[in-house]
Amino acid sequence: MASNILIVEDEPAIAELLAVNLRHAGHCPILAASAEEALRLIRDVLPDVMLVDWMLPGMSGVALLRELRQGERTRGIPMILLTARSEESDTIVGLDAGADDYITKPFSPKELLARIRAVLRRRSPQLTDEPVRAGGLAVDPSTRRVTFTAAGGAEQDLRLGPTEFKLLHFMMTHPERVHSRGALLDKVWGDHVFIEERTVDVHIKRLREALAPAGCAELIETVRGAGYRFTQRQGATAAG
């Protein structure tokens, strides 16, 4: 699945080489030549992943990571630190600063792409193309199919709109967690989209209606005063 990847690198040749390889892999690279420029870009739209060079003019990459990890809006961004430093002490500094991974230059494009996939699986599984299953319910992002397999083995296709599909996929990749309406807007619609939080309620209702033929509507549980969660607990309530 295509991801917006912010490259924070002050060497134009290295930044462009990274961008070319990311485009070939189907991603959408965004370039920033300094930590300050990266912060300006992030104010508008959160990237799905960040590649941050340690040595930057002005604020260092490590200082940038520390600042982003302290922000409520930015602390969850997957971040990979790029550096020529290879000492164990440097690795520890980078990881303690908030890096999800640490890759030493020079590195191959294949290694970098593998690290990006691994970070996304850990931090943002909704951005991968890997199928996700819960009981008899299955969501396949690569084919955009949602199916339900009954106890007898019969498979049933469920028809979901594009927003309901994204909503279900996100909630299934983060099961048993309570998501506020604001958090769902950020993760499913995008943090740069400004719409009413009650819009989430409308799409939750549509999602439950789409899951009802398979008897799965109750898997989308309302948590009073907090939001919604995907649960597999018996007796969950779909009220609200």
- Which of 17-31, 60-74, 163-177, 189-203 shows the lowest mean pLDDT across its residues? 189-203
Nearest to 30 by CA among 110, 43, 84, 16: 16
Q: Give the model's pLDDT for residue 220.
A: 94
Domains of the chain: 4-127 (3.40.50.2300), 132-230 (1.10.10.10)
Q: Give the model's pLDDT for residue 131.
A: 86
Band of residue 142 on the pLDDT scale cut at 50, 70, 90 = confident
- The answer, yes or no, to whether residue 238 has pLDDT greater than 50, is no
Average pLDDT over residues 228-239: 65
Average pLDDT over residues 212-226: 91
Average pLDDT over residues 136-152: 87
Q: What is the pTM of this model?
A: 0.60
Read off the pLDDT of residues 186-210 as tens digits, 9 standing for 90 and up. Answer: 778 776 656 788 889 999 999 999 9
Three-point CA angle 103, 107, 113, nearest 5°? 75
